[in-house]
Amino acid sequence: MPLPINIRDLINGMSIEWERLEFKAGWNPESVMHTICAFANDVNNWGGGYIIIGISEKNGRAELPPIGIEPDKIDAIQKKLLEICRLITPDYSPVAEPMLYEKKNILVIWCPGGSIRPYKAPEKLAKNSPHSYYIRRFSSTVKVKNGSLDESNLLQLAQKIPFDDRINQNAEIEDINLTLIKEYLREVKSDLFNSAEKMPFADLCRQMQIARGPEEYLKPVNIGLLMFNTDPARFFRGAIIEIVEFQDKIGDKFTEKIFSGPLHHQLRMALQYIKNSVIKERIRKVDTKPEADRIFNYPMTALEEALANAVYHRSYDNQTTIEVSVFKDHIDILSFPGPIPPVGDNDLKKERVVVRNYRNRRIGDFLKELELTEGRSTGIPKIRTAMIDNGSPEPEFHTDDDRTHFLTVLPANMEAYEDDADEDTIDDTDKNERVNERVNERINELKKTELQILSILKENPSITQKDISEKTKLSEQHIRRIIKSLKDKNIIKRIGSAKTGHWEVI
């Protein structure tokens, strides 16, 4: 049965990182079994991986053209594959698809991260062979040593399934939209598109790993609802993107846009809105060269990557939305919570942030197939490069000590605003200092406003949000955001009704 991925892109490492691919020139059942076990354990929450038989490997990459598999051996290999998978405990079944690639027969084995980790496999195919854990380390499959840190980390993953890959007990298989599935398969040029209309809907969902369970109790997994439901916010209240454009520093004058729908739809709509309404360009002619300089207030590449990262790395069991605050001199992109430990605020100052564990293991794969984001650990370097190429000040990346949020601050290149005639007369050092001051002020503003509102609630628990707005000189919209954030963090709670109740600081 076809796979929900573009095979050419897969083999060329365009949609999946090389460390999640293993190429094998020939069939070696013992080695294949160990690699299947390692991908099933998915110790870093990457989403498992793919084994491609019939293509040799050179320096971790596919060596083309393919060697191929003899056609009369494919059935025997698939039968043996079923046998060795039965030796893995607990039960685990990958998805295998024989196909023709560059006129050669190959076998692609998709091994998604397992739902009942950890998994063990026999060390040898010989009878009564001891069982061991296997994991992926970079591009290799390794056996886990007893008592090692790897074993400890793996055991801690037992029954811990990333949120986007969990079964949603509050939804039904009918909540997944066939039209959205077909739209996705057509866009990524998957061979499964041609079968989607003919095959039973339940089988299609199982094939895409967006539903699990027995026939009588088949349920969607969260990624299926996030990508293929017309309104994911029904199930995940915070699964929307809010863009607020401020016309003043106080926050009284603003316009707000809310983008909902499947994750990839809302991401594209939000980026298109930013491109049409926020991005400004200035063309500056230079005497020393024939072509003019094109300067943007914000490079679109940096915004695309920053917002895609927020969609990818946020937690969808958190009810707080992604907030994009647009000012003339900077844009803030705020998502919740912050990075997974051990990554902290100091790590975000480094040129490259290497993350080995991920909150969502399926969202990234779908976004990469749609070319909405690139490989892991590439986001921050790509944002920095785009800002430098545009002549913009350095971007800022922040979290707090408790990693409750992730804040990306993109300072504007003020030369893009033609009406700021005095900008050209300002010394570069002074200009950078001014931008850095504004960035730091914005970062501290979040905490200061929360503390201010907490103090007001302690003094007057019955105060209304309108009165808080008048007291602080902040817009009611701004106050609602802060109150919602404090509630989501379990710092405050509402006792009684909206009219006669009061606030309690926990």
Q: In the prediction, which pLDDT does 356 show?
A: 64
Q: Which helix (H) or strand (E) holds 349?
A: none
Residue 258 shares a structural domain with residue 399: yes
State pTM to two decimals: 0.76
Report the pLDDT value the prediction gives residue 2, as an integer from 0 to 100: 82
Q: Check residue 431 and give its pLDDT.
A: 47
Q: Are residues 279 and 403 in the same domain?
A: yes
**Mean pLDDT across the stretch 396-416?**
93
The pLDDT score that the predictor gives to residue 496 is: 85
Q: What is the CATH number of the domain that holds 416?
A: 3.30.565.60
Q: What is the mean pLDDT of residues 473-487?
A: 78
Summarize pLDDT for 71-87 with one digit per residue, the tens: 999 999 999 999 999 99
Is residue 421 scored above 50 in pLDDT?
no
Please tell me the predicted confidence (pLDDT) of residue 347.
Answer: 85
What are 329-371's pLDDT values in tens digits? 999 999 999 998 888 888 888 877 766 678 898 999 999 999 9
Among the ranges given (81-90, 184-193, 423-432), the one the predictor scored with the smallest mean pLDDT = 423-432
Task: Give the pLDDT score at 466.
Answer: 84
In contact, 380 and 308? CB cutoff 8 Å = no
Strand locations in 25-124, DSSP E?
49-53, 56-58, 61-63, 95-101, 104-111, 120-122
Spell out the residues 6+ positions from residue 334 whose beta carbon is closer than 8 angstroms to its own.
310, 322, 323, 324, 325, 405, 406, 407, 408, 446
Shared domain for 141 and 30, answered yes or no, is yes
Rg over CA atoms, the chain: 26
Residue range 256-288, pLDDT digits in tens:
999 999 999 999 999 999 999 999 998 877 666
The last residue of one of the domains, among 159, 189, 213, is: 159
Q: Give the mean pLDDT of 7-32.
A: 92
| 65 cis-preceded (ω within 30 degrees of 0) | yes
Burial class (CB in 10 A: 0-12, 13-18, 19+), 406: buried
Q: Are residues 54 and 135 in the same domain?
A: yes
pLDDT at 418: 66
How far is residue 376's CA from residue 15's CA, in Å, rounded to a whole number?
Answer: 11
Give yes or no for residue 422 having a pLDDT over 50.
no
Residue 470 lies in a domain: yes
255 and 284 in one domain? yes
pLDDT of residue 250: 59
Are 263 and 217 members of one domain? no
Q: Are 479 and 472 in contact (CB under 8 A)?
A: yes
Helix then strand count (H, E) for the chain reads: 15, 21
Domain assignment of residue 256, yes or no: yes
Q: Look at residue 433 and tell me whether its pLDDT is greater than 70.
A: no
Identify whether residues 205 and 266 lie together within a single domain. Answer: no
- Are 222 and 278 found together in one domain? no
200 in the same domain as 346? no
pLDDT at position 8, please? 93
In a domain, 146, yes or no: yes
What is the overall mean pLDDT for the chain?
88
Query: Can you tell me the mean pLDDT for 218-231?
Result: 97
Mean pLDDT of 386-414: 93
* Full residue range of the structural domain in which residue 448 is found: 444-506
Residues 61, 181, single domain; the answer is no
Q: Omega before 90 cis (within 30°)? A: yes
Count of domains in the chain?
A: 4
pLDDT exceeds cutoff 70 at 55: yes
Burial pattern 179-201, b for ≥16 Cβ within 10 A else e, equals ebbbbbbeebebbbbeebeeeeb
Helix (H) / strand (E) element for 44: namely: none
Q: Rounded distance, CA 252 to CA 469, Å?
A: 10
Please indicate, yes or no, whether residues 66 and 178 belong to a single structural domain of this protein. Answer: no
Confidence band for 413, pLDDT divided at 50, 70 and 90: very high
What angle do helix axes 465-472 and 428-459 make, rounded to 10 degrees? 140
**Ranges 138-147, 148-157, 332-341, 477-486: which has the least confidence:** 477-486
Residue 424 has pLDDT above 50, yes or no: no
Question: What percent of the chain stands above pLDDT 90?
Answer: 60
pLDDT at 228: 98
Q: Is residue 431 part of a domain?
A: no
Buried b (16+ CB within 10 A) or exposed e, 459-468: eeeeeeeeeb
CA distance 18 to 23: 10
- Mean of pLDDT values over 170-194: 96
CATH classification of the domain holding 70: 3.30.950.30
What pLDDT is recorded for position 487? Answer: 84
- Which one has a higher pLDDT value, 45 or 480? 45
Q: Is the pLDDT of residue 436 over 60?
A: no
Reported confidence tier of residue 314, pLDDT bands at 50, 70, 90: very high
Which tokens sit at 320? 């707080």
pLDDT exceeds cutoff 70 at 218: yes
Residue 430 belongs to a domain: no
Q: By CB neighbour count within 10 A (0-12 exposed, 13-18 middle, 19+ buried), where does 166 fall?
A: middle
% pLDDT > 70, the chain: 90
Cα–Cα nearest to 201, from 174, 219, 230, 221? 174
Q: What is the 3-state secondary structure (H, E, C) of 237-258?
A: CCCCEEEEEECCCCCCCEEEEE
Of 140, 159, 178, the position where a domain reaches its end is: 159
Of 369, 395, 425, the domain-final residue:
425
256 and 331 share a domain? yes
How far apart are the C-alpha atoms of 15 and 22, rounded to whole Å? 14
pLDDT class of 426 with cuts at 50, 70, 90: very low
In a domain, 200, yes or no: yes
Q: Higher confidence at residue 496 or residue 477?
A: 496
Identify the pLDDT of residue 201: 96
Residue 93 has pLDDT above 70, yes or no: yes
Q: Is residue 439 part of a domain?
A: no
Average confidence (pLDDT) over 181-189: 96
409's torsion region: left (phi>0), alpha (psi -120 to 50) or beta? beta
**Cα 16 to Cα 24, 354, 387, 409, distances in angstroms:** 17, 17, 26, 29
Q: Is residue 434 part of a domain?
A: no
